[in-house]
Amino acid sequence: MKIEIENKTKSKKGRGKKTKKQEENNISELRQDIVTGDWVVIAVGRAKRPEDFAEDKHWDSEDSLDGCLFCDPEKSGQEKDVLIYRTSEGDWTLRVFPNKYPAFSRGKVPRSLEEGPYFAMTGTGYHELIVTRDHYKSIALLDSVEVAEIFDAFQDRYLALMNRKSVNYISIFHNHGKEAGASIAHPHSQLMAIPVISPYIKLELDGSENYYRSNKQCVYCVMSEYESEFQKRVVCENDEFIAFCPFASRAAFEVWVMPKKHSPYFERISNDEKIKLAEVFQKALNSIYKALGNSPYNFYIHTAPCDGKDYPHFHWHIEILPRTATWAGFELETGIEISVIQPEIAAEFLRKQIE
């Protein structure tokens, strides 16, 4: 399935050596909420000035190629590729390189940072960008083979980083549109390999374990089987994967994509499964694109942590969240999201886009 893969080692040459003090000043921090135990990242490497937050948050999807940092990463001074896929003619189709302005400082073991009653640690890990070639073609407009190549790159980099000392969880996500957090219009996904497990993942791990203890079944398998049988919320499916609007959708047109066969670990996906995943995922994403008029969205992979523990009760999946509403006071205060369309109706509308 890989057209031609070239694994490159990271260049140790820099544009100029930084002093030890400069390096310390650029180290991100992971700070822990003393009440809830939640983590936040203080990303010093991508710090903004206070006045920068008033800037316009919209970009034109038909923006110019001029000055795009990702159309020619070498020319724009991005770091050397850690992975690049090429055609037989030598043209690149996808490349992965370290983020020039990382949220996490690369390759160092976390160090404790305490202040009074508070606990923090250095924000160490890895932050990489997965960039597809076509500036104007979002993932929703790619064909399934091109989408499979993206999942192939996700898996490749996951396997390369999962056993590093500073890594206990790997987050793979995609932001489409400035309202969804994309600061560059050129389509790209991101991978962050980090030392802590997020509270949201912890909730899913605990919830799936509690369900298994009570029912002796995987909760995600139960959902997948029920949705496939009754079809009310199914967007599309094949023999290996299913895409559906979850019963308790947090946002309008939210879609989950998951394997029908029980599997806790995304990184163990086979080449044949990647093709099957790409077929369902591309259809689901394209249906959202058609239904919502290229609306901003986020998607991310939820998989079991790589912290050396076993999670047999978990089931990896992808969550796609269109940005159809803005959180207001109720959502921020309670954490309860308000969706203004029934997932059954949303799924029916998305199916029509595929038909």
Q: Is the pLDDT of residue 10 over 80?
A: no
Distances in whole angstroms, Cα of residue 274 to Cα of each of 171, 268, 277, 284: 18, 10, 5, 15
**Terminal CA-CA length for the chain:** 28
**pLDDT given at position 148:** 98
User: Domain boundary at 177, 196, 215, which?
Assistant: 196
Mark whether 150 and 280 lie in a shared domain. no
| Residue, of 128 and 64, whose pLDDT is higher | 128
User: In whole angstroms, how large is the CA radius of gyration of the chain?
Assistant: 21
Q: Please answer whether residues 29 and 113 qualify as being in contact, where contact means their C-beta atoms are separated by less than 8 angstroms.
A: yes
User: Domain boundary at 196, 227, 255, which?
Assistant: 196
CA 94 to CA 73: how far, in whole Å? 11
Mark whether 68 and 28 lie in a shared domain. yes
Q: Is the pLDDT of residue 311 over 70?
A: yes
User: pTM value?
Assistant: 0.85
| Residue, of 250 and 175, whose pLDDT is higher | 175
> Can you give the residue range of the structural domain that contains 345?
200-354
**pLDDT given at position 37:** 66
Three-class secondary structure of residue 272 per DSSP: helix
Mark whether 155 and 177 lie in a shared domain. yes
Each residue of 163-221: pLDDT tens digit?
A: 998 899 999 999 999 999 998 999 999 999 999 998 899 999 999 999 999 999 999 99
Mark whether 251 and 303 lie in a shared domain. yes
**pLDDT given at position 47:** 53
Structurally, the chain folds into a number of domains equal to: 2
Mark whether 204 and 284 lie in a shared domain. yes
What whole-number percentage of the chain has pLDDT above 70? 84
Each residue of 20-59: pLDDT tens digit?
A: 544 555 677 777 765 556 676 766 655 555 445 444 444 4
Residue 204 has φ and ψ, to the nearest 5°, of: -65, -40
CA 204 to CA 126: how far, in whole Å? 24
Mark whether 146 and 264 lie in a shared domain. no
Each residue of 288-306: pLDDT tens digit?
A: 999 998 889 999 999 999 9
Mark whether 22 and 127 lie in a shared domain. yes
Q: What is the mean pLDDT of the chain?
A: 86
List residues bridging with 194 in a β-sheet: 169
CA 265 to CA 252: how far, in whole Å? 28
Quick one: average pLDDT of 60-86?
83
